[in-house]
Amino acid sequence: IAMNTCMLNEFLHQYGSMIPIHVDEVVDKLQEIFPSKSFSEPHRKVVVQHLIQSYQRLSGTAMVRGFRVNYKRHTLTMDDLSTLYGQNWLNDQIMNMYGDMVMDTVPEEVHFFNSFFYDKLRTKGYDGVKRWTKNVNIFQKRLLLIPIHLEVHWSLVCVDVPQRAITYFDSQRTLNRRCPKHIAKYLQAEAIKKEQKDFITGWKGFFKMNVGRQNNDSDCGAFVLQYCKCLALEQPFRFGQLDMPKLRRLMYKELCHCKLSLLGEGHASSETWPA
């Protein structure tokens, strides 16, 4: 128990809570420390699970309350990180920091737009967002990733710049035809302003309907961030609704480490942070 407590204290110090920690992760570490004992036995696993749960209830401690993650201009608090727990809705702070981490993994190829961009474009038109790319030539990028937040649902527009393709990804498979049209008008206006004649016309819109589908009302944000990661890293989508609890824990850890876990095909099933 003392060893368990020490280990959980380390997790708590690293992540501010036990949200991203799976019981199997603790069991595996205990197995490494005590190879002669079998911690995967049901009765021992239950003890470990109860200990994790008791630590989770320590959310009122000063260390947890003061836990912060800083990355560039982003600061995440425990309130923000807690949106990754269970079936909570992901908030703008989580979406934007994770999106920036995705972009920073391939900065020459990908540009991620802040989650407030589309609403500003939709309500104010091009004049409302024309300064958002004053230091960026989006037409030199391979991909543009634009999260869309309408009322209580997240979706994603991905622009393949060389192919002039605007693709709408929605884990609820909603056909929002206005959204790609808004983005197309934005791209045309931006091309005119930046004097990029080759990009004024020729844009095509697509709806990607064969992506993993959510079967609840809470995981849309998690799906969007996974779309962003896979598209940016040119990986196929190998995740679905059943992977969301694991992926939420993984994203929590990635945000705390301020770095994506680039595990290729196996990333959806990873429960541990690579050493």
| Catalytic center residues | 153, 170, 220
User: Residue 90's CB: how many other CB atoms inside 10 A?
Assistant: 24
Tokens of 242: 């059943």
Residue ranges in the chain assigned as alpha helix (H)? 2-15, 23-33, 42-56, 62-65, 78-81, 92-105, 117-124, 178-193, 220-232, 244-257
DSSP string, 133-187: GTT--GGG-SEEEEEEEETTEEEEEEEETTTTEEEEE-TT----SHHHHHHHHHH
| Bridge partners of residue 234, in order along the sequence | none
Phi and psi at 150, nearest 5°, equal -115, 115
DSSP SS3 for 200: coil
Going by C-alpha positions, the residue among 127, 137, 178 that lies closest to residue 161 is 137
β-strands 110-112, 69-71 pairing:
unpaired
**How far is Cα 270 from Cα 261, in angstroms, rounded to an integer?**
9
β-strands 143-150, 153-160 pairing:
antiparallel
**How far is Cα 124 from Cα 118, in angstroms, rounded to an integer?**
10
